[in-house]
Copies of this chain bind each other. A is one copy, B any other.
Amino acid sequence: MAITSRDVARMAGVSQPTVSRVLRGAPGVAPETRARVLSAARALSYVPSETGRSLATRATRRIGLVADDLTNPFYPELVEPLRDRLEQAGYRALLVSDRVDDPVEADRLADGSLDGVVLTTTEVGSALPHELVRRGVPCVLANREAAGLPADTCVVDNQLGGAQVAGLLASLGHRRLGAVFGPASTSTGRDREAGFRAALGEHGIPLRAELVRRGPFTHDAGRAAVGELLGLPAPPTAVFCANDVVAMGACSAAAALGVRVPDDLTIVGFDDIAMASWDVFGLSTVRGDLTLMADEVVRMLLARIADPGRPAERVVIAPALVLRRSHNAV
């Protein structure tokens, strides 16, 4: 049996509401009573029940963090600063998985155990954010966006980032380009591709269909795709990868085939996760500031919790090329 405020009240010789007042630091309690209550609470190792408090206040100070597979090195880079900011704001992070083969049910996010939800793996046509908005669950999309959704969103300018890579490869003199794009069902995959293609067009550089692959944001997908490209009679001199994890798969493919990076192959990623700077990769990539993204996401979420009626915001983070050692002029 856990200790309750009643037990503390009994021991301190006061009423239960007085205990509540003292432990909340509410004003209007005599210093002497306060001291008596506090010492009783300490003696009993009393900790107020979060459940009781939640029921009374209708707030749980808990936020759902919906993510796919955390072993994919991209997600911790986003989840970690999110959890950090949330804890700083007095909230706690509940990790909810959302697998393709086992998607979250909206019910589990709308059961009143969460004050809000951050979605990090939303697919373009997903019904989940709409469902949450409909049910009045405060909700912010991080990193991904869904068209026509009246919900707060924070994304990197993926089109611009893609265009920056195209510009880099063009200026390095590459003309035989390869690409491993992300899933078309994700705004990140789609937008990076669109920006890359458009800018390539402006530079008058073709992107041959046989040098284009598409796959999930995983190492293995990048490895397989670039393995194929490197086996072609006329392989590309540079590949743009959907993100850093895919680019690391490209590095793996190159390593397995004895292809030197960047001498024989230029590899460019996207995101600038911490591992991209490891010497084994030295990955040239596009930086999207995920810490800033976490800041914005948490700010918007708290604002929405405070005022559910506020207009939806869309924050766009400027991307920046990070040039390391995985690129070279032809």
Contact = CB atoms under 8 A, between A and B. Distances in A.
Interface of A: 2, 45, 47-52, 54-55, 60, 62, 65, 69-71, 73, 75-77, 79-80, 83-84, 87, 92-97, 107, 110-113, 135, 219, 223, 248-249, 251-253, 255-256, 274-275, 278-281
Nearest to A279: B252
B54 A51 contact: yes
Nearest to A52: B55
A52 to B, nearest CB: 6
Contacts of A223: 278-279
A94 B95 contact: yes
A80 B73 contact: no
Contacts of A110: 47
Q: In the complex, which of the residues A49, A113, A256, A280 has the most CB atoms of chain B within 10 Å of its own CB atom?
A: A280
8 contacts: A47-B107, A47-B110, A51-B54, A51-B113, A71-B76, A71-B77, A93-B95, A255-B279
A253 to B, nearest CB: 7
B60 A51 contact: yes
Q: How many copies does the complex hold?
A: 2
A274 B249 CA distance: 13
B73 A73 contact: yes
B279 A50 contact: no
Q: In the complex, which of the residues A49, A84, A112, A248 has the most CB atoms of chain B within 10 Å of its own CB atom?
A: A112
A135 B1 CA distance: 10
B111 A50 contact: yes
Nearest to A55: B51
Contacts of A252: 278-280
A83 B95 contact: yes
A105 B107 CA distance: 31
Contacts of A49: 111-112
Contact of A2 (B65, B73, B112): B112
B281 A280 contact: yes
Contact of A111 (B48, B83, B87, B95): B48
Given A55-B51, A274-B71, A83 B107 contact: no
A243 to B, nearest CB: 15
B92 A93 contact: no
Contacts of A275: 73, 219
